[in-house]
Structure 1
Amino acid sequence: MRLTDVPTAQQAALFPDASRPERPLLFRDLQEIQDRLLTWWGEPPAPREVWDPLTQLIYSLCSSRTKDAESQATILALRERFGGWPSGPNSWDEVRWERLRDASVAEIEDTLRLATFPDRKAVQLKRTLERITERVGSLSLAFLAKYRTDKVRAWIEELPGAGVKASAAVVNFSSLRRRAIAIDGHHQRIAIRLGIAPANATARQVEATLVPLTPVGWTAITMDEHHTLVKKLGQRVCSLREAHCTRCPLREVCLTGSAAATSRS
């Protein structure tokens, strides 16, 4: 497959300021990537603990550029200090976040101290929750279940600090469980190295090129699993500082990996 197979108008919309990759991809579709990653790791990722859309949005806003362990600790700290759980301490189904919305920025920042940029995120988080209340009349995103996926994502992306990754996470990871691929820094970097997107492609552009490569039968859960597998690869093998191509399960289908192998021979 070549990106040049995509209609010219669509290419221009995806990459208005980027050099388009002209080399053919070395794999058929994302199923081949998925199979290689599953074989490499030996087992699929553990099932995600699915939250309501609002809790997932809060987590996404707090977890940007923050390691998973610290992100998990942060959402638990927020819930302990500001959340409520009418269904019991082990359930996220009915968490209420009004106390978080009404807290001072200083209180929120103190609770976000394990996350990166807690001062910035505290302001964005409070503004986001206030904005949702203004638009909806209450602090809930349950109504999004009635919307088309594209409308849900557009609605989310109008909130302070919420971009394409956050909107994809809300529709894919939360109880909405819609088809989308959340593109974090690891996924973006690996897609570029694979040759799917040009070097200066944005997360939105990368997702737009990846989704057409997903098999028809892929569900929202499959896309979630794919995100987790690629993220794991980026954390452990294909890092920002160095691509360890010789021990990468994708080296045979990766333009960067194949180029590295050629240079060594």
Structure 2
Amino acid sequence: MRVTPLFPDTRLVEIHGRLLARYGQPAARDVWDPLKQFIYSLLSSRTKTEVSHEVVRHLEIKFESWEKLRDASIPEIEDAIRAITFPEQKAVHLKRALEQITQRCGTLSLDLLKSYRTDKVRSWLERFDGVGAKTSAAIVNFSTLRRRAICVDSHHLRVTQRLGLVSKSADARATEDRLMEMAPATWSAEMLDEHHTLIKIHGQQTCTFAEPRCRTCPLLDICPTGAKTANSQGK
């Protein structure tokens, strides 16, 4: 049985406020239907955002419809997504997923997910090859489904581990579970999306992988990793 703490953990709210003050309001997301978000999320792993967007635009122009993309050969799909990482593997996953969606739903559409509970939607999505907790969270939170979830990408995982919000061994699913426990119940799907974006920007600009800029970080005084790094650099 889970015991509710006497005092709520407000660190996520504090972190959000500080990052908002540092980086400003993130640009509004161009919210897509679930199928387009599915395709994007399946392809975008370990690929820069701008490259992933360009590849999806290229697919829309080249194939004209998702049905034509589904029916294309794997070599043709692979060639069309060549700019992303692991195109050989992702071409196979993408074609198979589009075929399976058609088989499960009777048409190439994810509109039926609108009537499912969020946990059922995510379980349904994670049956596809290449779709884990991060990707299913992105689909339900970023698309027109707009459900409460936090997409934990590599930046989000690194930042939350350094902040001590989760252990160093925590994966995307465990991290999301912990962050959802900490997130205020009043935070809407859109607010959780905004939080994800702020953490991602922070991971790209300040809490970087190789050389984190700890001494200029707005979270330095609440970050155990940053405090150690800054002290070692002679702060």
- For Structure 1 versus Structure 2, the TM-score category normalised by the shorter chain is over 0.9
Matching residue of 1:31: 13
Hey, what's the Cα distance between the residues in 2 that align with 1:241 and 1:147? Answer: 41
Cα distance in 1, alignment partners of residues 64 and 89 from structure 2: 21
Counterpart Cα distance in 2 of 1:76 and 1:119: 19
TM score, norm. by length of structure 2: 0.93
Residue 18 of structure 1 is matched in structure 2 by: none
**Aligned 8 A contact 1:181 1:207 in 2:** yes
- Pairwise CA RMSD of aligned residues? 1.5
d(CA) in 2 for partners of 1:7, 1:147: 26
List alignment gaps of at least 5 residues for structure 2.
4-8
> For 1:115, which of 63, 69, 84 is the aligned residue?
84
Q: Mean alpha-carbon deviation: is it higher for 54-63 or for 75-84?
A: 75-84
5 Å matches for 1:66-77? 66-77=47-58
- Matched residue of 2:103: which SS? helix
| Structure 2 match to 1:209 | 178
Match of 2:208 in 1: 239
Q: Deviations over 1:109-151 (max 9, x none)?
A: 1110111111111011001111111111111100000000000
Deviation at 1:69, TM superposition (A): 1.0
Is 2:22 the counterpart of 1:40?
Answer: yes
Identity of aligned residues (%): 52
Deviation at 1:262, TM superposition (A): 4.6
Deviation of 1:210 (Å): 0.5
Cα distance in 2 for partners of 1:83, 1:162 equals: 25
1:178-225 Cα offsets, whole Å, 9 max, x none, are 000000000001110000111111100010110111112111011111
Matched, 1:106 2:75: yes
Alignment of 1:211-226 (within 5 A): 211-226=180-195
**Pairing partner for 1:59 from 32, 40, 45:** 40
| Structure 1 unmatched ranges of 5 or more | 1-5, 9-26, 85-96
- Displacement of 1:240 after TM fit? 1.4
Structure 1 segments, 4+ long, off by >4 Å, are: none
Structure 2 match to 1:82: 63
Is the aligned partner of 1:178 residue 2:147? yes
Matched residues in 2 for 1:66 and 1:142: separation?
A: 27
Amino acid aligned to 1:256: T
Q: Does structure 2 retain, via aligned residues, the 8 Å contact 1:197–1:209?
A: yes
Is contact 1:29-1:215 (8 Å) kept? no
How many residue pairs match? The answer is 229
State the alpha-carbon separation in 1 of the partners of residues 2 and 117 from structure 2: 25
Whole-angstrom distance in 2 between the partners of 1:57 and 1:140? 10
Structure 2 residue aligned with 1:251, among 212, 220, 235? 220
In structure 2, distance between residues paired with 1:37 and 1:259:
21
Distance 1:252 1:261 in 2: 10
Would you say the 8 A contact 1:53–1:171 is kept in 2? Answer: yes
Task: Specify the code of the residue in structure 1 equivalent to 2:224.
Answer: L
